[in-house]
Each structure stands twice: as C-alpha cells, then as structure tokens.
Structure 1
Amino acid sequence: MSAELSFFDLFLQASLLVKAVMLTLLGFSIACWTMIFQRRKVLREARQQLQNFEDKFWSGADLSKLYSEISARAHIFGIESLFVAGFKEFARLRKSNVYSPQAVVDGTHRAMRVALSREVDELETHLPFMATVGSISPYIGLFGTVWGIMNSFIALGAQEQATLAQVAPGIAEALIATAMGLFAAIPAVMAYNRFTHHVEKLENSYGNFMEEFSSILHRQTAGENQG
C-alpha cells in the first residue's frame, strides 16, 4: 500500500493536467526559494552598508573626501548612491554660481529623490513575483485537486462495484496538488511580508538621511553667503 501511494508513483498515475499543475507549482517553489536567498543577501548587504556609511558620515568625515572615495568605486548602491547623487548636484550648483540656500536644497533633494526611487525599485526586485505566487498557488493546487477528484469519480462511476481501494489513489494524487500549492505559497507569503518590512525600514532610513543631508548643505550654503 505504501509503495502504491508513494509520491512518485502517484505523480506518474496522475492525469496530464494534474501533472502539469504539480510541475508548475514545483517550478514556482524553486523560483521563489532562489529569489528568497538572493533577496536576503541583498537586503543584508544594504543594512550593513547603511550602518557603516552612517558611522563614517556622522563621525565628522570631510564630505568632499567621502564623495571622492565613494564615487571612485565601480559599484555604488544603497545609501551611498543617494549621497553621491546629492553631493554631485550640490557641486554642480556651486559651479553654476547658485548660492541660494533654498535652490541648493531643492536641487540636491530632487537628485536624491531620483536615486532613492531607483534604489527602492532595486530592493523590491522579485517581491511582486513572491506576492503573486503566494496568492495564486493555493488556487492552482486546488484546481488540480478538483480536476483529479472529478476524474476519479468519473472512473469510479464506470465500475459496477465501487471500493475504497479503487478511488483512494486518485483522490490521494489529487490532494497532492493542494499540498504542493500550499508548499509553494506559504514560504512566498512569509518571505514577501518579511522583505517588504525590511525594504520599508531601509526606505525610511534613506528618507531621513536625505532630509538631514539637505539640511547640512542648506546650513553650509547659508553660512558661506553670510560670510
């Protein structure tokens, strides 16, 4: 009995449509787990970079030297992208003889806002797919289950004498589709909620830095004008 109801045997006995449902859900699950590990690494690096940068920024480091150090790197991401975009725009406005503190704040804020949008888009990569898998996988699995049970009862109706042994394998193979749907959906939903929370925290931290950095540049420009 256990051999007849093994997962692999039930898969082989399933109808073509139920097999397609199972393979689709298996593909969703593999794709989601790959994205989960990749997103986890990206968000961990972004949080670590945020902490390291803020420690250096608020330690009183020279902004020009910090900009030169960061902009010389081949790959700039996260909060460093916001800083580079803002300071670059600040330097451009200074070269254009724009000394109005408000104009400097507006220009640097716009530049950092564009960089923030790009960084958030990058952090949210694959999250919509996880949300989609978490939403539709149970229904895809349920569809496979309904289809498999329907075929089992149709075949059972053609028998003169119905027994549990005749209908059990068909129902079991159909229920596997629902189980696979849940197996794909539950990790996807949990990962989506967790990663969305981390992205929101990073976005808030980036937004706070934008406001503080803009205030620093505003005070610096205002002090130079008064001098």
Structure 2
Amino acid sequence: MVQFPWRLMGMFSFGVVAMLAIAMNRVLNSKSQLKLILSLIVAVIFIANATYFYSLSRALPGFNNAGNPKKAAFNPKYNVIKLALEEKEISQFSQFRGRVEYLPLTPEGIAAKPIARQPHISILKGEALIKLDQWHSYNRIFNVSATEDTHLKIRTFYYPAWHLYVNNKPYPRIVSDDGTIELKLNPGEYTVKLFYSWTYPFFVGIIISVFSIIILATYWYKFA
C-alpha cells in the first residue's frame, strides 16, 4: 500500500477545501454587485468536488468502508487493496507482527510471502564471517569478512526509507522473493549499515507543508 500514493487524494481534498474557503471569504468580503452569483459559483464547485471525493471513497474499499467488492475488482490495484481488507497478520507467516498490507510488492504486483524463523543475516551464496554489532528498530550494523563472492539476506522488509551503506558509501538494495533486503559483496572486509531515514518525497513534502503554513499564516495575518 505504501508503494502507491493513495494518501495524496485525501491530502488534495483538504487542499481543495482550504482553497474554496479562501475564495468564498474573498467573495463575501468583496463589494462587487456580482457577489451572490460568485458565491453560488463557488458553492457549486465545492459541492461538485465534495460529491466526487465522496463517490470515489465509497467506490473503493477501505478499512471503515468495504465498498462494492464487485465494482472494486475492476481496479488494477484490487489485489493490493484486498490484502488490507483481509487484515491477516504477518505473524501467521513469520516471527514479525504486523499486517499483510505493509509487505512489499513483488515485480508481479503481489505481496511478498515472508519465510518463518529467519536469522538476522543469512548467507545465500558464498562464504563469509558475520559479526552483528547493532540490531535496533531504525539501525542495523554488522561486519562482513567475505572470502569469496557472497550473497547476503537481511531480515528486514524492503521499504524506500531503508538506506543501505557499505563502508560508509550508498549501496544498491535487492528485494528478495520474500520481501526482505539482499545485497551482494565481493571478497573483502565490509561494514554494512542499514538505517531508516527520510526519503526524498517525504523531505519535499515537509518543505511544501512548511511553505503552505507560512503562506496561510501570512494570508490570515494580512486579511484577518
């Protein structure tokens, strides 16, 4: 679910309400003889937008609204949405607790299937010595001494906010069939760091939010 911008629609709906409120305020405070007509136009736009968002929310399944499953089945993302509706716990498949909706998607567009009882770090191919230094919620650090080309699996579900660094340099992440993160190393000594941090879209969203607050505060201070 988090790999698609589902939340943007809700955010945009709030933005529409704010813009319409500003427009209505300007119309009502104006001295134009067309005040009534302009108010009706803004009201019609508001009702049309509200009706659209309401119809859309009722047409698609959600946590508090099952919607019409037959109609939703025509949606390309139906299988993904269906996972959230079933609310099956990940703990059925592995030692992790959580919901299936948070599992990463495979290239085929279906949720990955976790494998039970995996160690923190698994050696899929090659030979290496692994020393685990830190395994916290947002930080995982371990040292690898590889004597040959080595393929490792980290017991962490892939998510864009997870950043992988090897010897303090960004390193490509591989998504395994069960949704966890893998990496390939050549022979040598490595310090691997996997940490949870902001993504670029999140950072841009924070900047936009801050500017939006400043603009709204400035508008309120100027016209209140």
For Structure 1 versus Structure 2, the TM-score category normalised by the shorter chain is under 0.3
Larger radius of gyration: 1
Kindly indicate which of the two structures has a greater share of residues assigned to strand: 2
Give me the TM-score of the superposition, normalised by structure 2. Answer: 0.28
Give me the TM-score of the superposition, normalised by structure 1. Answer: 0.27
Q: Which has the higher contact order (CA 8 A, sep 6+)?
A: 1
